[in-house]
Structure 1
């Protein structure tokens, strides 16, 4: 998965501020106005830190710079929601048109939540993009700049990693119609293809080998293919000190184009392979 830069809807003034970022502080009102305006565009979904484009991920480096600059030009401020007090440089998100936000859910300003999103008690970080119809389950985390597609279900405790640095780092991408099981972790620029089901407890990083159990062949690293059932596993590797199991992701089943998983079919696939997720 390649990183591809793109033209940005954000002001070029962000780049000028980035070049002299060491000189900036919350006292720089003009700089703060530029950065706040840029992050407001992310908050409304009019700009995105990244977007999938075929096999590539198009990254808006200016958007990421604006987020990083916000830590410099915004001062610490106290806020309160009910009995809970916060002390941070970034306010909480305040625009939730068409979004269901269950008490205990936290979304930071600069994250975008499309109409139809449901937030259970969870955390969505600045720069994240969560598309329509997606559910972010209880205690799930959507990290900074992560890109979550339509009609995705992030089950309880799911961890979607964030990335702001270094320059050129690719955010996590979860494509449309994906189901990610409880306590699964998708981190370090990994990608989950459209319609995939990821078993509970699976850990996928950008360098995790993804293997097809039918052939034993490595399909990819850090990428679960579209329309498949995948679970966490190990594969044996010889070292001078002995044979050890290294983590991998196992693809158990592929759907034909146009097919979608249903609960009965998924349970049958898992039983077939002796997997309980």
Structure 2
């Protein structure tokens, strides 16, 4: 990991200070630490998510110092400033890291893929974190810097929004043990609380009302832990406003012994 002085230097160069010549080496170290999970873009501290701005700035800075190169996976070619995450991996390398990567899965350098993750044909962008035991199903997109917890299921076609800028912004976060239904989209730094279930086709941005039918109140930007959420609308007189509806709340014990279908049935 970089020492504090080198971190400060990269931040200063990001803000416009004169480079000293070792920036590319330092940035390569940042990427190695992102890949291994030694550092991450955001982490939970005392129950609250905190963004590590210097990491985001380092990623943005790398686009100024890394030249685009040609890469090939034996099927097609790529031209990018970032190498494919698994370029040159041997069977031993894959076994050591413990993830299963299906043909068609694309992961950019600087994304952390934890042990027992399954990557179906999907896309994981730079700065993302995918936690242990998570399933990333077919045609899922995990955007830049998005944080996906352990034991999460991202169903087919799910989109988890990314965002490198502004550097201080909290990324989109799916906490541990969540289920995100097919073709759902969670974007703009929304946090989906631990153990929540989103039905198929739920769309949530910062401006989407997350309406709790048990209380009649709406949340914005965060799905409370243990929520079961379906797509719906709120009556606004002459029109209906698209919303995410919390139809029930479940604890970890109920979640563990109840199938997703049962949780969503009869809502």
Paired position in structure 1 for 2:264 = 270
SS in 1 for 2:206: coil
TM-score, normalised with respect to structure 1: 0.86
How far is 1:234 from its partner?
A: 1.2
Match runs of 1:1-277 below 5 Å: 11-20=7-16, 30-53=22-45, 55-94=47-86, 96=94, 97-218=97-218, 220-238=219-237, 243-256=238-251, 258-262=253-257, 264=259, 266-273=260-267
Asked whether the 8 Å contact 2:103–2:121 carries over to 1, the reply is: yes
How far is 1:257 from its partner?
A: 5.2
The verdict on how the C-alpha distance between 1:8 and 1:210 changes in structure 2, with shifts beyond 3 A counting, is: farther
Asked whether the 8 Å contact 2:156–2:182 carries over to 1, the reply is: yes
How far is 1:269 from its partner?
A: 4.3
Asked whether the 8 Å contact 1:100–1:116 carries over to 2, the reply is: yes
TM-score, normalised with respect to structure 2: 0.89
> Counterparts of 2:75 and 2:141 in 1: how far apart (Å)?
23
Asked whether the 8 Å contact 2:195–2:252 carries over to 1, the reply is: no
**Structure 1 segments unaligned to the other structure (5+ residues):** 1-6
Asked whether the 8 Å contact 1:213–1:250 carries over to 2, the reply is: yes
RMSD of aligned residue pairs (Cα, Å): 2.2
> Counterparts of 1:268 and 1:155 in 2: how far apart (Å)?
17
**Structure 2 segments unaligned to the other structure (5+ residues):** none
The verdict on how the C-alpha distance between 1:9 and 1:169 changes in structure 2, with shifts beyond 3 A counting, is: farther
The verdict on how the C-alpha distance between 1:207 and 1:190 changes in structure 2, with shifts beyond 3 A counting, is: same
TM superposition outliers: structure 1 runs of 4+ over 6 Å = 7-10
The farther-off stretch of 44-53 and 117-126 is 44-53
SS in 1 for 2:215: coil
Asked whether the 8 Å contact 1:15–1:62 carries over to 2, the reply is: yes
